[in-house]
Every structure is written in C-alpha cells, then in structure tokens.
Structure 1
Amino acid sequence: MAGNSDPLSPRAKLAVTAGKAVAAASRAAGRGSGSVIGGRVALKLDPDLLGRLAQNLDVVLVSATNGKTTTTRLIAEALRAAGPVVSNALGANMPAGITSALAGGSEAKFGVIEVDEKYLAGVARDTSPKCIALLNLSRDQLDRAAETRMLAENWREGLAGSKAVVVANCDDPLVVWAASSSANVIWVAAGQMWKDDAWSCPSCGGVMQRPGDDWFCGECGFRRPTPTWALSGDHVLDPHGSAWPIHLQLPGRANKANAASSAAVAAVFGVPPQVALERMYQVQAVAGRYDVVQFQNRDLRLLLAKNPAGWLETFSLIDPPPAPVILSVNARGADGTDTSWLWDVDYTRLTGHPIFVVGDRKLDLAVRLEVANQHFQVCDDLDQAVQMCPPGRIEVIANYTAFQDLRRRVGN
C-alpha cells in the first residue's frame, strides 16, 4: 500500500473519479444524492477502495438499531474540536455509501461512519477503526434482518480480535454479549427503555433477571458490567465521577443517551466532555428528524420511528393530549415488507390524542389502533390529514420511506 504522501494508487484515483462522476449524473437526473450508485461503481473498479480511503483516518464506526444517524452526527460535531471530519451524515450506511462519503474527505483527520448492523463486521475489517460505538440491538425489518440474537453473535465474532476501543451500552444485554469478545471495552450506562428483545440470556438462553436497572442471568452468571460513563438525568458522569450538563436542541431521553455515548467516544480521541457536549448543542435536526416545518399554515414536527423500540421512545417526546398526531407507515423494501411489528407497539400511549392515519399500509395500522381502542381517522394523504387536524402543533410520526415521502411533500 502506498505511503502517506500519496495514499491512493492510480487505480484507486480512477475509481474515486468515476464514482463522483456517476454520483453527479444521478443527482442531475433527480435520483437522490447519488452516493450509493457512485460508491458501487467505485468499489467495482477497486474492491479495496474503502480500506485505502480509511488508512490515513482515525475511524469511528457507529452501529445500532436506533439512533445511529443522530449519534454519528453528535460524534462528528464533538471531534471537529480536534480536527477536520468526514462522515456519511445522510445515513447511506452500507459499504457503497460509506465509500462515497470517505472519497469526499481527502483533508480529513477523522472518519465518523454510521454502519448498518448487518455490515458492521465487514466494514470494521476493511477500515481498521480506532473506536466502535455499539448503542442497542432490537428487532427491525423482520423479513430481511436476522433476529437480534444472530446479529449479536455476528458482531461478537466479527469484532473478536479487533484492536478498536469499543464503546458499548451496558444496559442492553445483546450489546454486552456482542462487545464482550473485544479486548478493550468502555461501558456506558445509556439506559434501555425497550426490553422486549432481551428477556432470555444471549449467552445460554436462560431467563434474564431484571431487578431495577440491573440485569443478570440466573443460570450462567452473565451480567451487566460496571459502567465507567453514565447518563444521569440531564448529565453525563465521566470515569472520574464528574457530572457534565447535557444541553441539546434535540428532544428526548434517547438523544441524551446518544450524547452520553458520544462523549465517551470523543474522550477516546482526547476531546474532553465539556468541549464535546458544548459542540453537540449545534445539532438542531438530523436528516429532517425533529424538524418543525410550516405546511398549510400549520406547524408540523417530523419524527422518525422505524420499529417498536423507536416508537416507544418517540411517544415519550410528543406534546401532551390533545395535540393532534398523524401516523404514516409504509412497507417498502427499505422499511421491511412485514408489518407484524406494529403489534409490538403500545399504541395505548396515544390515548387522548386525535389520531390521523396515512401511508401505504394505513389499513394495517388502522386495524392495530382499533384493537388498542384508539380513536382515529384514516385519510387519503398528508394534505387531507392536516386539514382535519384540530388546533395545535401536529406531531407527525413515520417509518423510514414514509418519512422520506413526508419530507418531499412538505418541501423539507
């Protein structure tokens, strides 16, 4: 491999140039950012390109079922205190999208990369990360993703022997099982609201005991490790016991947890918690999530929720009743085509809210809401739903492609 003065071979440079040209053509044709198709072309021309692009960067990988994109953004902001950062900030998180992102960051010192759970082991092998952040694992896209225990096993095997510092959430038993094969783990008590994917021990299959915030397996002794970082209310506790205030423009407990993990990652690179957390305040919205937009003379807040764990966290964010709520669910390829996960969501938390239902699978959602004894109306589209909403800021909760549809409609 070439030295630092010119790390890319002629073939790699050709691959980068070709990828950028294809991406630009895709953008010009109105087909999105072009990052995925550009990355695919570049990797075809040089299959080792991802490793070559990463070799002069201090790389951080971020993986989880929920919160990857936001945490990647928070870590990137924090590390900018120590040097230029390149990141796949728009969430293209498979090898092609990651390659595209790194190809645009020739001056960067740090690469902060969100990685799809299924691709983590391979991307870690290619990029030799200095740090890997593991936040949570829960069921998602039931038709395409392996069940969570298999994903945890995949992480565990793929990260064994890695030299990376692993920053892992000690409150999620599946994450602890996955991270425990690594030599250097920093445990963060980031909390876990959704517990329905970790009632059995990932190590032996025994029943997990959960007294208070603790957990352990009564059969094999697998248990919650002692954290060195912790989320405590509105503060992050560092390894010295100092409490640092979290000031975020992003709402909710889940984002405070993301900030706690991000502060622990930043500290690995020498950025102190106070500096890291101050920088995180700059983040207002992440790829449209949490944005408040004007549409038909109404304020709409856009919230993304892709799976049961995400919906549970999102319900804790919304304005109290009688704030109107619009729910939109699709089941396209990127969402997963199986909507049975709707039955794992506790929709009784919406009692008292006027509810309006849109999206490709609005009838699936309507059946679920009826069983939960919720009052709702099925609407043709967002425009009709907004017109029918009573006064007040409208909370709009959507899964992945439904969220993209909404953003296009409101011009966000």
Structure 2
Amino acid sequence: MAGNSDPLTPRAKLAVTAGKAVAAASRAAGRGSGSVIGGRVALRLDPDLLARLAQNLDVVLVSATNGKTTTTRLIAEALRAAGPVVSNALGANMPAGITSALAGGSDAKFGVIEVDEKYLAGVARDTAPKCIALLNLSRDQLDRAAETRMLAENWREGLSGSKAFIVANCDDPLVVWAASSSPNVIWVAAGQMWKDDAWSCPSCGGVMQRPGDDWFCGECGFRRPQPTWALSGDHVLDPHGSAWPIHLQLPGRANKANAASSAAVAAVFGVPPQVALERMYQVQAVAGRYDVVQFQNRDLRLLLAKNPAGWLETFSLIDPPPAPVILSVNARGADGTDTSWLWDVDYTRLTGHPIFVIGDRKLDLAVRLEVANQHFQVCENLDQAVQMCPPGRIEVIANYTAFQDLRRRVGN
C-alpha cells in the first residue's frame, strides 16, 4: 500500500527536476506537452526512476490495441473515490511518458497507467502493479508491430507468475492465452466485435470453434474461461450476480465494455461497482475523442479509429444515414506506414452516408471505397469537405495523426 516516506534519492530528485524543466521548455517552444522528452531526460539521469516513482503507489496498468486511453480515464475516475490518482491521461504510454506522468503525482495514492502493448512486460517489471487490465489484441501498425500472436506470447512470458490481479477479457482468445500464465486472473465477459485475429488457436494453431458467444479449440481443448464479471446490455454483472446500470456520456458498446472492465479493476481496490460506475459518468471526452465541436457553423463529432477493430466499433456509433461522414487517413510514423489494413475494414457499413475523404492517404482510401461500391468525394482538406457536406451533424473519423491534425484545425 502507499506510504508517505520519500522514495526518491538525491539523484532521482535531480532527474525529476531536469525532466520537468525540459518538458516546460518544450511546451514553451510549442512542441507539444513535453512529457516524452522530459521523461527521456529524467530516465537518462536515473535509469531506475520509473521504479522509484512507482514504489509508493498502488499501480494499475492498462494495455490493449483499442480502448486503452478511455479505460485508463474511467479507472482513474473510479479510483478517485478512494484517494488521489496520478495518470498519463494524455496517452503518452511508453516508459518516458509514463515516467513523466508519475513524476507529477507526489501526493497520489494510485497510479493508473496506460501502457503500449509492446512495453507492457517491461513496465510491469518496473512498477510492480497491483492490477493489470488486458482488454483486447488485434492487428495494428502492420509495418512495425509484432504479429498479434507474438505480442500475446510477450505478454504471457512477461506476466508469468505475476503477483498482480489480472483483469482480462475472456471473450478474446489472445488475451486469455496471454493472461493464463498468471495465478490471479479475474475474467470479464466484455465481448469481442472484431474476430478476424482470433480464428486460430494461440496455444496450438488449431482452428477455433465459435458457437454463439463461446469459443474453444477443437484440437487442444483451450477454451473460453468462465467469467465472474460481465457486460450485459446496459448493465455490469458483478461476481454476486447483481446488475449495476452503466450511465456514460461516452457513446457505444465498446465504451460499455471498457466500463465493465474498469468496474472489475475498481473492485480490486475496494471501490464498489455502484460508486465506480457513477463516477465514470463524469468522463465526457478523452483527449478530444467523442468531442462535438463547432467548425464553419457546423457540428462535427470527432472519432478516433486506428485499426480495423477500431473502425468496426466506430461505425456502430455514427448517426444513421443520411448523416454525412468525413474519413481522414494518414500513414506517418505514429500510424504505421502500411495502409493495407484498409482492406480489412468493412466499408459497406457506410452505405447511404454521403462520404468525404481527406488526409495524406486519401487516394488509398478512395480506391478501397470504390471497391466497396461506396459513393464518395475526395477533398483537399477539412474546410473543403465540411463546405461540401449536406445538412446534419458531421461524423469525422480519423486515424491517429489525422486525428491530431483535425484537432489542431478545429482548435480543439
């Protein structure tokens, strides 16, 4: 449990001070939040700083391909019922960004930390978490991310024998396989809309059978574990069978699933589901996601979708036809430069919507939409697309750097 003794050595204090100074200089120069460069400088001065900063905190790590940032926010809100929280709320989720976030929370009791999938094992080793939430694993950034089965293996090895409570989605076979090496797993039936990365058994490579909501391998017997928490419509079912209503300002089934996992995490720290879920209602938007903004006298709703699983969930959120939709895709370093994932997305779900295409890779997306028999127009930029949109709220869906571009343009 968190105590009050100062865990920081003189060297660590110097590292924190230097990191904050560099971050402040970066912000002053207009180069973003400065959290990553500040964290890098601090870790250079004291390589053990992350472990030192975490040792007086009850730490929760959150990792997944989709939903990390939102779930981190929901858990942080829930745990504030039990004490002060420090969190990397802006999504800087590699060791430097995490170190920077923890350095700003000297009075905190809880550290709620989003972690990039590739760094989970190392950050877990450094921070000795009390709880780790594993939500999903699917293909993402095809040019540089490890294949999903390798990521699951990395998790499985890294978490083997972990003392942490692992809150894991039992509907994702890759997550189950990764979590099964741990002695303390709390299974949550959070659902899985995107199944295309889980047709072969991660344990033996056999073909996965998927009757209804169940799944099992017909060859080695690897199967879906029995959950103790579950998402059921608009309610979370707890281990005692009680149903607690989910009231969120965030839209969609995916966020209800995130809330169910967050409630299970909060319970590990003694926060009851009713209290946890009530506090989650405070979250309106997460780093600009789901925000409705005014631009050129129009209402635009900003939606982030980074990979096929994310696009599938996002399509289920948008207003029904004929709501206009603007799609923006880039392929810069932070997105992954390979856009072949566009062919894994079912764009026929946009039939009936007027579609407008922008972004660095608008022509890649245009070819994909043409093959999907969608009616669309390619535009030079957001301003032109908005001017061409018919009446109604405009749904704007963008991948990672395209989303940052949009936020800058609309002043969000």
Question: Is TM more than 0.5 here?
Answer: yes
TM-score of the pair, normalised by structure 1: 0.99
Change in CA separation of 1:222 and 1:28 when aligned onto 2, cut-off 3 Å = same
Q: Deviations over 1:105-139 (max 9, x none)?
A: 00000000000000000000000000000000000
Matched, 1:116 2:111: no
Shift of 1:6: 2.0
Q: Is the 8 A contact 1:2 1:9 kept in 2?
A: no
Q: Is the 8 A contact 1:2 1:8 kept in 2?
A: no
Matched, 1:259 2:259: yes
Match of 1:12 in 2: 12
Query: Aligned to 1:13, what secondary structure does the other structure show?
Result: helix
State the distance in 2 between where 1:4 and 1:382 align.
Answer: 51
Query: Aligned to 2:174, what secondary structure does the other structure show?
Result: helix
Q: Deviations over 1:370-401 (max 9, x none)?
A: 00000000000000000000000000000000
Q: Is the 8 A contact 2:169 2:189 kept in 1?
A: yes
Query: Aligned to 1:275, what secondary structure does the other structure show?
Result: helix
Query: Aligned to 1:331, what secondary structure does the other structure show?
Result: coil
Aligned residues: 412
TM-score of the pair, normalised by structure 2: 0.99
Shift of 1:9: 0.1
Match of 2:390 in 1: 390
Match of 1:84 in 2: 84
State the distance in 1 between where 2:270 and 2:309 align.
Answer: 32
Match of 2:355 in 1: 355
State the distance in 1 between where 2:348 and 2:272 align.
Answer: 42
Change in CA separation of 1:319 and 1:3 when aligned onto 2, cut-off 3 Å = closer
Q: Deviations over 1:299-343 (max 9, x none)?
A: 000000000000000000000000000000000000000000000
Q: Is the 8 A contact 1:134 1:168 kept in 2?
A: yes
Q: Deviations over 1:5-59 (max 9, x none)?
A: 2210000000000000000000000000000000000000000000000000000
State the distance in 1 between where 2:3 and 2:194 align.
Answer: 47
Q: Deviations over 1:254-278 (max 9, x none)?
A: 0000000000000000000000000
Shift of 1:144: 1.1
Among all aligned residue pairs of Structure 1 and Structure 2, give the percentage whose two residues are the same amino acid: 97
Query: Aligned to 1:142, what secondary structure does the other structure show?
Result: coil
Match of 2:99 in 1: 99
State the distance in 2 between where 1:311 and 1:30 align.
Answer: 31
Query: Aligned to 1:200, what secondary structure does the other structure show?
Result: coil
State the distance in 1 between where 2:8 and 2:156 align.
Answer: 32
Matched, 1:411 2:377: no
Query: Aligned to 1:163, what secondary structure does the other structure show?
Result: coil
Q: Deviations over 1:175-201 (max 9, x none)?
A: 000000000000000000000000000
Q: Is the 8 A contact 2:329 2:398 kept in 1?
A: yes
Q: Is the 8 A contact 2:329 2:361 kept in 1?
A: yes
State the distance in 2 between where 1:3 and 1:364 align.
Answer: 54
Query: Aligned to 1:178, what secondary structure does the other structure show?
Result: helix
Match of 2:401 in 1: 401
Q: Is the 8 A contact 1:186 1:227 kept in 2?
A: yes
Change in CA separation of 1:81 and 1:253 when aligned onto 2, cut-off 3 Å = same
Query: Aligned to 2:213, what secondary structure does the other structure show?
Result: coil
State the distance in 1 between where 2:403 and 2:160 align.
Answer: 36
State the distance in 1 between where 2:313 and 2:116 align.
Answer: 20
Query: Aligned to 1:53, what secondary structure does the other structure show?
Result: helix
Counting only pairs closer than 5 Å after superposition, residues 295-310 of structure 1 correspond to structure 2 as 295-310=295-310
Shift of 1:285: 0.1
Q: Is the 8 A contact 1:356 1:378 kept in 2?
A: yes
Counting only pairs closer than 5 Å after superposition, residues 93-242 of structure 1 correspond to structure 2 as 93-242=93-242
State the distance in 1 between where 2:283 and 2:276 align.
Answer: 12
CA RMSD of aligned residues (A): 1.2
Match of 2:249 in 1: 249
Shift of 1:222: 0.0
State the distance in 1 between where 2:56 and 2:321 align.
Answer: 52
Runs of 5+ consecutive residues of structure 2 not aligned to the other structure: none
Shift of 1:154: 0.2
Shift of 1:4: 5.0
